[in-house]
Amino acid sequence: MKSGKRIAALALGAALTLSMTACGGGTANKEDATAKIRAASEKVNAVESMEATMVMEMDMTAMGQKVETDTTMDMVCFNDPMKMKADMTMDMGSLGSVSMSIFAEADGDTYNMYLYDGNTWTSQTATVNMLEQYDAQQSVNLYLDSGAEYISVGTEEINGVTADKYTGVIRGEAMEEVLKASGATTNLESSLGGMVDVSDFYSDLGDMPITVWIDQESGYPVRYFMDMTDVMQSIMGKALNAAMGSVEGAEGVDVSGMMTIDKVEVIMDCTNYNNAADFEIPAEALGA
């Protein structure tokens, strides 16, 4: 009988140990993970240049028809003086593709922004917020700092380096800024034909998961991943209800199946910290 109790106690102890391991090691793990994320953010904030490639997959179903959109953006950014470029391609499958190049540079306290749509250059004065979507350094810092409840979940090989992997969530007031900076809500507004301003629907969205990989040797983040599917579906539902509510005679109409968000995932790989390939803003852009 005593032997049976001893075995049961050992089994219970082993189960508790496994449970603590599966949960990421508890408070100490969270504190260590948060410190590592904070240190990585500080390193990114101090870089003189960097490069990054962002890929966003956004799949929607509208009136039974599926639309799959893959957006790829290659970014290069420099500081002191600030200048950046981003080459973006949006592939919509059978609906075709759209490409655009964006350049920007500091001009005193403001920024000059140049856009090329494949045919024509245009220019405008821009704010920091307008450039955030195309500036790899700003984006990485925003996403790292906006996460909470980070825990360590092991290591992986990412683009030839050994990286520590951390998972966390984005919630609350940070959610709106992250969604705007990612460009996901801009794509959604375009899909809705400008019927509504989705910025009215950022509350009560729940948590959005984020995963970050940090190079063990350099301490720089080399990849982050966000699954925006549930959050964007929530915004879509609210936006559709608001749009239908403004249509006379449409009150009470079930819009749940009209348009759904099936997948929104964003992944960014960051490279060449302090060693980005230099570039010049094209003369055609400067003359626009």
Region 9-30: mean pLDDT is 45
Residue 20 has pLDDT above 70, yes or no: no
* Residue 61 confidence class, pLDDT cut points 50, 70, 90: confident
| Residues 71-94 pLDDT 10s | 999 999 998 888 999 999 999 888
Which pTM does this prediction carry?
0.78
If pLDDT is split at 50, 70 and 90, which confidence band does 1 have? very low
* pLDDT value at 4 more than 50: no
Spatial neighbors of 215 by CB under 8 A, at least 6 apart, are 158, 161, 162, 163, 221, 222
Spatial CB neighbours of 105, under 8 Å, sequence gap ≥ 6: 81, 82, 83, 84, 111, 112, 281
Residue-wise pLDDT for 92-112, tens only, equals 888 888 999 999 998 887 899
* Average pLDDT for the chain: 80
Distance linking the first and last C-alpha atoms of the chain: 88
Is residue 113 a contact partner of residue 127, using CB atoms and an 8 Å limit? no
CA angle 185, 186, 189 (to 5 degrees): 85
Which residue ranges make up each domain of the chain?
37-75+132-286
Nearest Cα residue to 183 out of 102, 285, 288, 282: 102
> What pLDDT, in 10s, does the model give residues 38-48?
999 999 999 99
The domain at 37-75+132-286 falls in which architecture?
Clam (2.50)
C-beta separation of 76 from 84 below 8 A: yes
